Amino acid sequence: MQNLMNEVQKKDLAHHFQNYKRLPITLSHGKGARVWDTDGKEYIDMLAGIAVNSLGHAHPALVHAIKNQVEKLIHVSNFYTTVPQANLTEKLAKVSGMDRVFLCNSGLEAIEATFKTARKYAKNKGKSGPIISLEGCFHGRSIAGIASGQARYQQGFEPMPAGFKQIPFNSREAIDEFVDDQTTAVIIEPIQGEGGIHPVDPDFLRHVREKCDRHGTTLIFDEIQCGIGRTGVMFAWEHSGVKPDMMALAKGLGGGVPIGAILASEEIAAAMQPGDHGTTFGGNPLASAAALAVLKTIEKEGIVAQTAEKGAFLMKELHAKLDGHPLVEEIRGMGLMVGVALKTDGAPVMRAMAQKGVLVNAAALTVIRMVPPLIITKEELARAVEVLAEVLDEHQKQPKQD
């Protein structure tokens, strides 16, 4: 198995763009919240493909839906309607309380679609101002995505397109200063993911909603990582009660099958006319069938409520094991979207945890991100916390390099 594993990595090094810092692990299969590499080593998956595998690996309902659809139709383009797509858009509208759905292939595409839709809607109303985002945000790696995001992702890709403005995180003063009658939109992650698991202040969100209503500005929520039950409610905006005008979804929606979506009010969606936007693969029968199976399974098995309970358990375990630890700055998050902010580089901790059979990653360089499958057990969560505590203790004891 070791030779096979090395051969796989050699092929990757020889042929794939080298734009990922991969761990020296070749995964072969998974079940529930566990995965195995080609050496047969078992891991607790606390990353879930970066908050994607909401039902874990090889969930029977998702496997059945995919197998069943593959035998019928995989792709036909959006020149035609299909049963899975129509059923999915109906379901998404129902669970979100929003009017219209546009399906695409990824979170990045969903963000691009929200930007285009917001701009078209604003133009129809005579607006030409910027799309405003928050410091620390992450809205994908397209040119528009990085233009709205952190400066470190923009380096080497200048010049950035115009029409974006970033303001301080949770700053009411900045919202009051920069949102006016010309502002196109405000985009916010209710919980920043890639930025280090930072929940946005609910009172700030209410203030933004009020300000957007006053000026006729579109409020967009990026729920690509924090949506679909991840935080113990179906959509993270439910914690604050602040409903957006438009919302971007992806990641957990397909349970591992690539899909993205934007949801919008009737008024905003109506700004987009035939030819304004489109996608070849978006909302294809296979992806739609998978996403519909995910939503139905979450509903049928009561997974949202379970996620809230497991999230509380995870936070309790983390505080019990790590409060006061010299290397821990803060523990934050909601539901099963949790970050342990360290006073040291997170990459060595991540690698050491993988060696001990637990997969996580380091967000914002120093934050150990835990976004496991929503079906993970409490026993698996407890073991992951034990491993993190062990690694931090070992890391603390290591002699410092001069």
| DSSP conformation letters of 247-297 | EEE-GGGTTTS--EEEEE-HHHHTT--TTSS--SSTT-HHHHHHHHHHHHH
Residue 400 burial (10 A CB sphere; 0-12, 13-18, 19+) = exposed
Nearest by Cα to 179 from 207, 152, 138, 142: 207
Distance CA 155, CA 167 (A): 19
| Regions of the chain short of the pLDDT cut 70 | 1-5, 399-402
Please give the DSSP secondary-structure letter assigned to residue 146. H
Predicted local distance difference test score (pLDDT) of residue 397 = 84
Query: Tokens in use for 30?
Result: 């998974």
Predicted local distance difference test score (pLDDT) of residue 2 = 45
Predicted local distance difference test score (pLDDT) of residue 298 = 98
Residue 89: enclosing H or E segment and its boundaries? helix 83-96
Residue with tokens 């899975």: 84
Predicted local distance difference test score (pLDDT) of residue 5 = 56
Q: How far apart are the first and last CA of the chain?
A: 39
Rg (CA), the chain: 21
Query: Tokens in use for 196?
Result: 């280090």
pTM over 0.85: yes
Predicted local distance difference test score (pLDDT) of residue 398 = 81
